[in-house]
């Protein structure tokens, strides 16, 4: 057997350079590069190997925060429809645990990312080393064990030859759409530098095929029979439509059958809002039309969605007493939720087979008229929301979203994740392209927006990419502005400033509480509350100090001008927009947030009564 003597670090680099993923005859690199921040846990091991062997086949990108690195890798994988990802390397201790939030974000969203955290010495001779967490019950323990519950595959490499089993298994999980998420290989810093005679064939090209498996003919026919007998069927389209590249199959199926489509956050863009069959968003952040259809649907066809509480309005959205569910999903767990008839397989393949089984079926004329009426009512409400009577004062967030939506085109992508933005943009955004809306709402992770936008730009450098971010999230993670400039990855950060965590303040006050702890205010002398003047934060100076071009916009014309100038820029740009603290958008559904049942405050008591009344609408399907 031919062998090559390499360090563990070098073996990982050479192995990753030859891993590919393929679908429909098209091959893509599985791991397209490595984000990293070097420290004593990886710089002389894996870092040295990247320097010697990496090159253009596995380029290195310098992060500024380990959490940001994972967000960028996750966004890259999402923009590539899971056909490729990035790796992230860190030192031991805080460098590693900084990646935990990113790992959870990737796994919750079913997106692949490879994590290579440094670890303590396998030899244990110099321990306890700097940044080591000691456990009196076991020497085989460390902070990297924290990755186990947020990883789809986890391993610790104690001997070089263990790579022969661990690396192929890691690639299998990364490339499997039914299992994918964060994959963590913990690398003790001494083992990274140890060498072994690896078989040469271990470094040969390997292609992991993603198959388009359909459900069995019997289950397809069972689903077709249920659809034919339904009077008011509804499709809930999730992110799996995008990952399967099933947008065209969904469009044809909807047109053929007349069944309307509503979308989750991840499913936005799977059918454009301009299409007659698309009613838009559904659930706790849903619009008037989508939620009306969901309330009355007697058959809900879930495609590529994991049915989070926002999509189901905490299981209160689907109210038809005769309601049933069909689920098309690559993941068996998701396919069986809500007692659904599970069609486990590829969304495109199953939709194509269902279309054949329903070749002569369409919804009734009466139902089609209802759909047109619901859609028309929402379009009227939408126009009032995005064009409020706002002659004086700052812009509403709804106006900013609409202006950005109107300005963008089919070659732009807007990234968002947290705060009040997702609830507003899910309702209001009218997609022009299947990939112009990029939402991280599985984990709704504050700080994802800017790092995520950079990952989207890396996936397609020809797209104009916007990060729509609130002031609270900006202050959590904005340092990758520097990395975007360093790498020539031009993005436009649209920063809306409402002086605090106003989304949660609204939730707080709507549930009977008073304004407490959510706005960025000074504490007055001897006060128990942050109820003084607003803290003045110069976001423009901050962004400029990191190298960004900065514009300030305070009205519609100013924002349009800033967007035009930003598009003409070749470097990362920040557009700062002071907005109103309050929202002008009604909610069209419910979301379960517990309210105290023993408060002495009248407003909380009233809210508790409303909470209990709303809970009675929750339905359970098995």
Query: Do 203 and 245 fall into the same domain?
Result: no
Contact criterion met (CB below 8 Å) for 465 and 492: yes
CB atoms within 10 A of CB 521: 18
- The interaxial angle of helices 397-407 and 421-428, nearest 10 deg, is 50
* Residue 200 belongs to some domain of the structure: yes
Q: Indicate yes or no: pTM above 0.85.
A: yes
Q: Last residue of a domain, which of 360, 379, 398?
A: 379
Is there a domain that residue 543 lies in?
Answer: yes
Of 209, 232, 254, which closes a domain?
209
Q: Is 509 contained in some domain?
A: no
Please tell me the predicted confidence (pLDDT) of residue 620. Answer: 83
User: CA 404, CA 441: separation in Å to the nearest integer?
Assistant: 20
- What pLDDT sits at residue 389? 83
Q: Do 371 and 428 belong to one domain?
A: no
In a domain, 118, yes or no: yes
User: In the chain, how many domains are there?
Assistant: 3
Same domain, 170 and 285: no
Q: State whether 352 and 279 are in the same domain.
A: yes
Does residue 180 sit in the same domain as residue 61?
A: yes
The 10 Å Cβ neighbour count of residue 456 is 26
Q: CA 84 to CA 207: how far, in whole Å?
A: 12
Q: Is residue 600 part of a domain?
A: no
**Residue 201 shares a structural domain with residue 57:** yes
pLDDT tens sequence across 353-372: 999 999 889 999 999 999 99
**What is the secondary structure of 167-179 as a DSSP string?**
HHHHHHHHH-TTT
CATH of the domain at 200: 3.40.50.970
Do 205 and 290 have their domain in common? no
Lay out the sheet containing 437-439: strands in order across. 437-439, 412-416, 464-470, 492-497, 573-578, 549-552
Taking residue 586's Cβ as centre, other Cβ atoms within 10 Å add up to: 10
Work out whether strand 206-209 and strand 195-199 pair parallel, antiparallel, or are unpaired.
Answer: unpaired
**Of all residues in the chain, what percent are helix, strand and coil, respectively (each to 5)?**
40, 20, 40
Instruction: Tell me if the bond preceding 128 is cis, omega within 30° of 0.
Output: yes
- Whether residue 458 lies inside any domain: the answer is yes
- Euclidean distance between CA atoms 346 and 213, whole angstroms: 5
By residue range, what is the domain housing residue 224? 217-379
Which segments of 387-420 does DSSP mark as H helices, in order?
397-407
Which residues lie below 8 Å from residue 50, measured CB to CB, with a gap of 6+?
9, 13, 34, 36, 58, 60, 89
- Alpha-carbon distance 471 to 290, whole Å? 30
Shared-domain flag, residues 182 and 240: no
341, 472: one domain: no
Tens digits of residue pLDDT in 493-515: 999 999 999 888 888 888 888 88
Are 339 and 443 in a shared domain?
no
Residues of the chain with pLDDT under 50: none
Is residue 32 domain-shared with residue 74, that is, in the same domain?
Answer: yes
* Tokens of residue 395, six digits: 């812009």
Chosen domain end from 192, 209, 226: 209
Whole-number pLDDT of residue 391? 65
Residues 149, 258 within the same domain: no
Is residue 193 assigned to a domain?
yes
* Inside any domain, residue 311: yes
């Amino acid at each position: 057997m031919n062998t090559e003597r390499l360090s563990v670090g070098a073996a990982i680099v050479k192995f990753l350079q030859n891993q590919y993923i393929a679908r429909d005859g098209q091959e893509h690199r599985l791991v397209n590069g490595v984000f990293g921040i070097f420290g004593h846990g990886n710089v002389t091991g894996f870092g040295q190997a990247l320097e010697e062997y990496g090159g253009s086949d596995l380029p290195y990108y310098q992060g500024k925060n380990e959490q940001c690195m994972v967000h960028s890798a996750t966004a890259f994988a999402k923009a590539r429809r899971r056909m490729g990802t990035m790796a992230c390397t860190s030192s031991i201790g805080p460098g590693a645990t900084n990646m935990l939030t990113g790992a959870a974000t990737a796994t919750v969203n079913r997106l692949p990312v490879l994590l290579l955290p440094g670890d303590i010495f396998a030899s244990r001779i110099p321990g306890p080393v700097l940044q080591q967490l000691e456990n009196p019950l076991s020497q085989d323990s460390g902070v990297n064990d924290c990755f186990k519950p947020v990883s789809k595959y986890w391993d610790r490499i104690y001997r070089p030859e263990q790579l022969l089993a661990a690396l192929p298994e890691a690639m299998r999980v990364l490339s499997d759409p039914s299992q994918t998420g964060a994959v963590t290989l913990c690398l003790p810093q001494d083992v990274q530098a140890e060498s072994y005679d690896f078989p040469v064939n271990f470094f040969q090209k390997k292609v992991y095929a993603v198959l388009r498996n359909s459900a069995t003919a019997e289950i397809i026919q069972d689903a077709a029979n249920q659809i034919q007998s339904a009077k008011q069927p509804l499709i809930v389209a999730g992110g799996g439509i995008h990952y399967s590249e099933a947008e065209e199959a969904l469009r044809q199926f909807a047109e053929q059958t007349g069944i309307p489509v509503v979308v989750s956050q991840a499913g936005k863009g799977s059918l454009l809002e301009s299409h007659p069959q698309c009613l838009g968003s559904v659930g706790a952040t849903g619009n008037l039309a989508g939620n009306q259809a969901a309330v009355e649907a007697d058959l809900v066809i879930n495609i590529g969605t994991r049915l989070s509480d926002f999509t189901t309005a905490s299981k209160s959205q689907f109210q038809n007493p005769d309601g049933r569910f069909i689920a098309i999903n690559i993941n068996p767990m998701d396919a069986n939720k809500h007692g659904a008839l599970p069609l486990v397989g590829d969304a495109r393949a199953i939709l194509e087979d269902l279309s054949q089984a329903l070749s002569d079926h369409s919804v009734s004329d009466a139902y089609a008229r209802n759909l047109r009426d619901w859609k028309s009512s929402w379009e009227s409400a939408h126009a009032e929301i995005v064009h409020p009577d706002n002659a004086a004062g700052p812009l509403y967030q709804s106006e900013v979203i609409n202006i950005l939506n109107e300005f963008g085109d089919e070659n732009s992508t807007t990234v968002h994740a947290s705060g009040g933005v997702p609830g507003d943009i899910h309702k209001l955004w009218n997609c022009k392209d299947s990939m112009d809306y990029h939402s991280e709402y599985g984990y709704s992770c504050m700080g994802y927006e800017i790092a995520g936008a950079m990952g989207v730009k890396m996936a397609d450098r020809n797209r104009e990419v916007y990060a729509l971010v609130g002031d609270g999230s900006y202050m959590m993670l904005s340092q990758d502005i520097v990395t975007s400039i360093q790498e020539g990855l031009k993005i436009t950060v649209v920063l809306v400033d409402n002086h605090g965590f106003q989304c949660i303040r609204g939730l707080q006050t709507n549930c009977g509480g008073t304004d407490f702890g959510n706005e960025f205010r000074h504490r007055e002398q001897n006060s128990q509350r942050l109820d003084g003047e607003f803290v003045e934060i110069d976001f423009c100076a901050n962004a400029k100090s990191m190298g960004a071009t900065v514009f300030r916009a305070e009205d519609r014309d100013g924002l349009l001008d800033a967007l035009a100038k930003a598009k003409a820029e070749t470097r990362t740009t920040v557009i700062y927009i002071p907005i109103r603290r309050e929202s002008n958008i009604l909610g069209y559904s419910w979301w379960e947030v517990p309210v105290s049942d023993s408060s002495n405050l009248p407003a909380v008591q009233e809210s508790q009564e409303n909470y209990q009344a709303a809970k009675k609408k929750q339905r359970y399907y098995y």
